[in-house]
Amino acid sequence: MDVDFSSEQGFKPPAVANDNMPTPLCGFFVPGGPVRSDFVPMDPTGIKRTLQLSSPGDLPSPLASVTELACFLWPNVILPEGQGLSIYWQISGLPDPSSTAPPPSTGFELLGALVPGTQSSQVFRTGWSEHEQLLDIMSRNIPVVVTIGIGVEPLTSIHNIRPVDRLENRMVVAQKIAKDLFKYMQSFDTGGSYGQMMVPTNIFDRWMKRFEARFRRDPNFFLKASDDD
């Protein structure tokens, strides 16, 4: 998801608590952990802010073990009418001083939203244990930085976007694997009676070895295959 935490007009931030730190918009925490509200404004308007958390350090490692994140609006925060608070996350590996390659990183993805009066607090599921790109980053055993981005947005925009549905993703993965098995079996069909398939008795073991070998080379190979292949 393309999210730009840059300057926008039209939002007046709350009064500042002191000369350096604006009044917090929300509290953020992993259930059982400390509350963090030290989001850094990305511009003078305060419309978009970010909070960076390290793992290991601020968050447990591996991140796949973090299944829920919670966020709430502070009681004294008043957002403009018709506005809510969208919450995004991005995870990046720390730069490798010995390499010129950019560190691996996910894009910003929607975690959820807070709406004053109706949904002033929420516990969100991360889906990190099923996120392929994140799992690839974690497989490198490198420290990572989790950036939590918050932005004041119109409710009409908030209602039109939703977090990635991991249940739908799992259904697609299951369908792709089943189709890969079917096509492999079909290639061994010796032509039984109509509506039946004649294949070797060890066909599943042979397919599994082939699948595991291809998976080790490319964990996403079955997702790239066309249904017509």
**Confidence grade of residue 6 (pLDDT, cut at 50, 70, 90):** very low
* pLDDT, mean of residues 35-63: 91
Give pLDDT tens digits for 130-178: 788 888 888 888 899 999 999 999 998 887 776 555 555 566 677 778 8
11 has a pLDDT exceeding 90: no
Please report whether residue 5 resides in a domain: no
pLDDT value of position 82: 92
What gap in Å lies between CA 183 and CA 119, rounded to an integer?
47
Do 59 and 52 contact (CB within 8 A), yes or no?
no
Q: For residue 19, is pLDDT > 60? A: no
What is the domain count for the chain?
2
At residue 17, the pLDDT reads 40
Residue 48 is part of which domain span? Answer: 26-159
Could you tell me where the beta strands, DSSP code E, fall in the chain? Answer: 26-29, 40-41, 48-55, 68-73, 83-93, 109-114, 121-125, 144-154
Q: Is 19 contained in some domain?
A: no
Q: Has residue 150 been placed in a domain? A: yes
What's the mean pLDDT when you consider all of the chain?
Answer: 81
Say whether pLDDT at 42 is over 80: yes
**Least confident piece of the model among 14-18, 68-72, 109-113, 128-132:** 14-18
Strands 83-93 and 68-73, by their bridges, are unpaired
Pairwise CA distance, residues 95 & 52, whole Å: 15
In this structure, what token pair is assigned to residue 223?
A: 């997702």
- The pTM assigned to this predicted structure is 0.64
Please check whether residue 3 lies inside any domain of the structure: no
User: Which of 133, 159, 185 represents a domain boundary (last residue)?
Assistant: 159
Do 148 and 175 reside in the same domain of the chain? no
Domain co-membership, 43 together with 142: yes
Cβ atoms of 112 and 124 closer than 8 Å: yes
Counting Cα atoms < 13 Å in the Cβ hemisphere of 51 gives: 21
Q: What is the pLDDT of residues 74-129, one digit of tens each?
A: 988 888 899 999 999 999 998 878 888 888 898 899 999 999 988 899 999 988 88
C-alpha 8/C-alpha 108 separation (Å) is 18
Q: Are 142 and 60 found together in one domain?
A: yes
Residues 119 and 45 in one domain: yes
- Residue 118 to residue 153: CA distance in whole angstroms: 16
Name residue, tokens 């709350």: 14
Q: What is the mean pLDDT of residues 19-40?
A: 86
